[in-house]
Structure formats: C-alpha cells, structure tokens
Structure 1
Amino acid sequence: MARQAGFTLIELAVVLVIVGMLLAGALQAARVMGEAQRVRDTRSELAEIREALLGFAVREGHLPCPADPAATGAAIGVEDRSGDVCNRFQGLLPWVALGLGQTDAFGRPFSYRVTDFYANTDGKSFGGCGGNSPPAGVSFAMCSLGDINIFSAAVAGQDLARNVVAVVVSHGSYGPGPLQAGGVGDEAENADNDREFVSRERVDGADGVAVYDDLTDWLPPATLLSRMLLAGRLP
C-alpha cells in the first residue's frame, strides 16, 4: 500500500520544534547584537560628555552641579544650584547645561558626581593646596585634586583611579537607575550617594541576563587642569 503524502503528526511536531529552536536562536542573537550596539552608542555618549564637561569648565571656570533626580517640569536636567553653591554633589547629569541628550542608549539618564569646589564658585569650598589659590573666575587651582575614587569591585576591589574630579555612570538596562534603591553589590555602589564607584566588565548570570552592566567614565584632575592650562584659564 502506497504511503500517503504529507506529514504525520510526529513529523510536524519535529519540524515545529526545529523552527522554534531556530527562531529562539535568531532572537537571542538579535538581542545580543542590539545590546552590543547600545553599549557602543553609550560609550560614544560618555566620550561626548567628557568633552562637554571640559568645554563647560573652560568657558565657566568650574564644572556644572548635578541635576536633581526628583525635579519636574522645567527643572528637569538643569543644574541644582543656589547661587554659587551646588545643592547636591551627586545626581543626574545636567544635560541642559551641557547641551546634550537626556538619556543613554538604554533610555536612562546618566548619573553624575562632582567634587565640591570644582563646581562651587563661592570660594569657601576650596581648601587650598600647596599654598596656592585659584585665579579669578576659576574655582580650582593647578594643584587641586578631586575626592572621588574608582575601584574594580565594591568589595576588595583594586584601585583604578583616585582623587578624580567627576564621574559619570550609565546604569544600563539592569538594576537600579541613578540614586535608586534595589541594587546589590557593584550595581548598588554606583547608585548610592558616596564618593566610591565601580568600573568593570559586564557580568552575565546563568540565564544570560546581565547582573552588572554599568558603564563608568571619569574625569582625572590632570585632564581637566591641562585643558584649562592650554586655554589660558590657569597659570
């Protein structure tokens, strides 16, 4: 007796399983490629932010204050400043003052911390260094150091940079955003309100989903001071 043309239920089930596996693999590959592109785009944004901060300092003689994460309306993305003094030293990147976009490639605002006297202009925050004082119109001197430290991990991490002037963090798609509770370990270190930050490679869990995906960039004093020197803002 001739075999009837067409698929049996078992053959059809096998085909569906294979198609499902191919689709799942394609979706995973697309997700990984999309994530990698967002990381590249965010790194490019961080480079633009660094240049914008340097340009702001050359023009104004100081760095901008962070923006208030709880601000609404016209205050969103604006420096949280009262006259010559910052109301906070960690918050959101003040993208309005810098003329930049509001979010990273993951759709989240960047967090930003700055050393007090590098952003304050009242002259009282500057503690002096080597007997030097800032020149007129500048809030820091050639001998000034920052007060922010970068480590490779929150616990028992290696020193990556000490006494940096400012730090900017993209909080990726995983974990808390700027100054938000709920993170753990290295993610939490970059979301709390202190002077210590983590910079390390991405860490994925067993399911392939990131458990650490922050991107951290910082401004060393030598970079800022040399730019100010070249611009003639520091002696």
Structure 2
Amino acid sequence: MVLVILSLLAGGLMVPLGARIEARDRQLTVDRLRDIQQALIGFAIIHGRLPCPSTEDDPGAPGYGIEDSPPCNTAREGRLPWLTLGLSATDAWGLPRRSPGDHWGGHWHYRVDRAFADTVISAVTAPTDDLQIRAHDGSRITVTDSQAVAIIYSTGPNRRADGLNASYSSTYQAGESIPDYDDLLVWIGRPLLIARMAQAGRL
C-alpha cells in the first residue's frame, strides 16, 4: 500500500517537473533569440550589412557555421552563421552535428532579405524578397512599412519546423505554442535596423 501511494505521488510530481523543464528550455531559447537579434544588428553596424546565411552542411568543413560570401544563396534554406556571430549553434533542444547526414533539429533557421545582405545598407534601402510573417489564423503580422529583413527561428521541443515554416518560402509563421506548432520565431524589421544603424552613426 505504501509503495502504491509513493508511486502515485511520484507520478503526480513528474508532470509539473516536465512542464517546468519545458518552460525553462523555452525561456532559454527566447533569451538566445534576443541575443541573436542584437548580434545581427551589431554585425550590421560594424559591416554595413546583415550576414548571409550559412549553407555548409559538413561539420568538418572550414565554412561550417560561417556566413556564405555575398551574394547570399537564397535558393535553399540557410542556418544562422553562429560562428561568424560568436553565438551558440543551437536552441535548448539542439544537439551537435557530427557528420553531413546528421539531423539539423535544434539549429537556428535564418532568412535574410538579400537587399540588406548583398550590399551596404543605406537609409533608403528597400526590401526586395517580400519576407512575410503571419499569425496562426493567417493574418499578417508584418506589413509593408515594417517589412521583415531578417528572420530567425527555433524549431522548438519537437525539433522540426511547423506550420508555414515547414516549407521553404517567403512566408513564415509566428505565435504562441499550440498543439501543432511549437516554433519560436523572431525578426528584425526594416525600421528598427535603419534606426539602430543611424543611432550608431553608420548611416
């Protein structure tokens, strides 16, 4: 009887513990995404442009984790150039990759508007890739005046892209975690980037 009671108590504690661990990992990932936003803005202030994504798949290659040289390759989905930015390669759920065939789950997905990465940004640089972010109901989160010029997202606990993020296109999805979507996505809008670069005397 004592063992049965202890088992029931232990089982009851496991659910809250699991929820606390997931909440901790989500917060850690959100914090890392904020760091990434700041690092990208810092890169733009220093170099006058945003970095290109990294498209090197081989962990043993010299260019792994390093931005591709401009012009950016947008024919396929890229990863955040974490080594270029001096950041962690993964979110809270990611594991290091050891070979080209290893899964990319947990590594940051990164998309940049080519007008802000291929050439030096000016105060009149306008987006060309029409990167859009939509809510779960399909409504637009970004509009023309606040166009996204850089998008970064984590695939969340399930380590796979969900919703609109599951297919590589110019339209992405953001929002709270729901049963069929647990990605965490942030972006940098044109007005913010231009303002930060102007404040730093870069424009």
Query: Normalized against structure 1, the TM-score is what?
Result: 0.73
Q: Greater CA radius of gyration, 1 or 2?
A: 1
Whole-Å separation in 1 of the counterparts to 2:83 and 2:151: 18
* CA distances 1:156-187 after superposition (whole Å, capped 9, x unpaired): 5111113210110011121525xxxxxxxxx1
- The aligned residue for residue 19 of structure 1 is 6
CA shift for structure 1 position 94: 0.6
Distance 1:44 1:213 in 2: 16
Q: Alignment identity in percent?
A: 36
Aligned positions of 1:1-235 closer than 5 A? 12=1, 15-68=2-55, 70-73=57-60, 74-81=62-69, 84-88=70-74, 90-107=77-94, 108-121=106-119, 138-145=120-127, 147-153=130-136, 156-162=137-143, 163-176=147-160, 187-204=162-179, 211-234=180-203
Secondary structure in 1 matching 2:141? strand
Q: Which has the higher contact order (CA 8 A, sep 6+)?
A: 2
SS in 1 for 2:121: coil
8 Å CA contact retained: 1:62, 1:140? no
Report if aligned partners of 1:117, 1:140 keep a CA contact under 8 Å in 2: no
Q: Deviations over 1:24-82 (max 9, x none)?
A: 1211111100000011111111111110000000100110011116233132211122x
Structure 2 residues without counterparts, runs of 5 or longer? 95-105
Which stretches in structure 1 are left out of the alignment for 5+ residues? 1-11, 122-137, 178-186, 205-210
Aligned residues of 1:174 and 1:212 also touching (Cα < 8 A): no
Aligned residues: 186
Contact kept in structure 2, 1:95 and 1:101, CA below 8 Å = yes
Deviation at 1:19, TM superposition (A): 2.2
Q: CA deviation at 1:200?
A: 1.1
TM-score (structure 2 length as normaliser): 0.84
Once residues 127 and 63 of structure 2 are traced to their aligned partners in structure 1, the CA distance between those partners, rounded to angstroms, is 30
RMSD: 1.8
